[in-house]
Amino acid sequence: MSSPAAPAAPKVREVVVNPPAGAPTRVRPDGLAKTLSRTLRWLYGAYEQAMRRVQMLPSRIRARRIVRKQGGKLRLCLGSGAAPIESWLNLDLDGRPDLRWDLRLPMPFPANSVDRIYSEHFIEHLNREDGAGLLRSCRRLLRADGIMRIATPDLPALVDAYRGDWREQDWLDWPGHEWIDSPAKMLNQCFHGWGHKFLYDAAELEAALRAAGFAEVRRCEIGESSQQELCGLETRLDSLLIFEAWGEKGAAG
Ligand SMILES: C[S@@+](CC[C@H](N)C(=O)[O-])C[C@H]1O[C@@H](n2cnc3c(N)ncnc32)[C@H](O)[C@@H]1O
């Protein structure tokens, strides 16, 4: 015996409503608020960027004089802070650097005018977009045989410390860090303390260097380099993620 036929599904009538031509489109209030807040954020970002540029005008003029004096043999130490390199040009936003410069802006030197660039414990103070901009600016300034060396905390090493012997870090003994008495406080300090914005692991930093246009990227040991002038520059024990980068992607030779 055949089973009874299933009842037919009720017919649904499709109704298409076309708003009359010229009728105002209705914007949902939450959509409007989002658009407004996005526009305001964009405007504020553009205003901040413009103010930074204005504040950097005297340094831009000074940079022109420095380039005229030094020719194409510039060596730059970025975010030099309390560890400037003697006879290099030290750039920082604070303190008493050779050139005060906000490194969120492209540096005020001509392309192919820089011989070496060094930076320790600085890139993690920029957000990911500003970090990418800085690396692009470095690539643009370096001569064909120029090299950049960059040292920064190593994210996996910090996660290992969190899971393991988190007390084994020299900076925990520095004044002002007594409140850090647990692995969670230690790791949060690394992510959010000292003005840190973005921490890198090797894959992330290598990808950022390559995306900036560097053709060659090599991980280095602390203090070691095939270039004599780049040896022994690290001043911190936790500068564990170190890369040297050179060459230009797509450049002939
Ligand atoms: C942790 S300190 C590192 C100083 C030094 N390289 C060292 O290893 O001791 C970070 C430095 O980055 C500088 N800095 C932070 N944001 C900056 C920016 N937007 N432009 C230039 N320098 C900046 C700070 O003023 C500070 O001197």
Domain ranges (residues) in the chain: 73-153+196-248
Instruction: Calculate how far, in angstroms, residue 67's C-alpha sits from the geometric centre of ligand 1.
Output: 23
235 lines ligand 1 (CB under 6 A): yes
Ligand 1 within 6 A of CB of 82: yes
Nearest ligand 1 atom, CA 82: 9
The pLDDT of residue 103 is: 98
C-alpha 116 to ligand 1 mean position (Å)? 18
Residue 81 CA, chain-centre distance (Å), reads 17
Q: Which atom of ligand 1 is nearest to the CA of 239?
A: 8
Sheet of 89-92: strands edge to edge? 99-100, 89-92, 74-78, 114-120, 142-152, 241-248, 214-219
Res 11: pLDDT: 60
CATH code of 73-153+196-248, in short, is 3.40.50.150
- Determine the pLDDT at residue 68: 87
Residue 143 CA to ligand 1 center (angstroms) comes to: 24
Q: For residue 207, how far is its CA from the centre of ligand 1 (angstroms)?
A: 22
For the chain, what is the largest distance between any 2 Cα atoms, rounded to a whole number of angstroms? 102
User: What value, to the nearest 5°, has the Cα angle with vertex 28 and ends 25 and 30?
Assistant: 150
Q: What residue's CA is closest to ligand 1, atom 15?
A: 125
Task: Report the amino acid identity of residue 88.
Answer: W
Cβ 183 under 6 angstroms from ligand 1: no
How remote is the CA of residue 99 from the centroid of ligand 1, in Å? 13
Q: What is the pLDDT of residue 1?
A: 39
- Give per-10-residue mean pLDDT for the chain (253 aa): 53 54 65 93 93 92 89 90 97 97 96 96 98 98 96 98 94 95 97 97 98 98 97 96 95 65
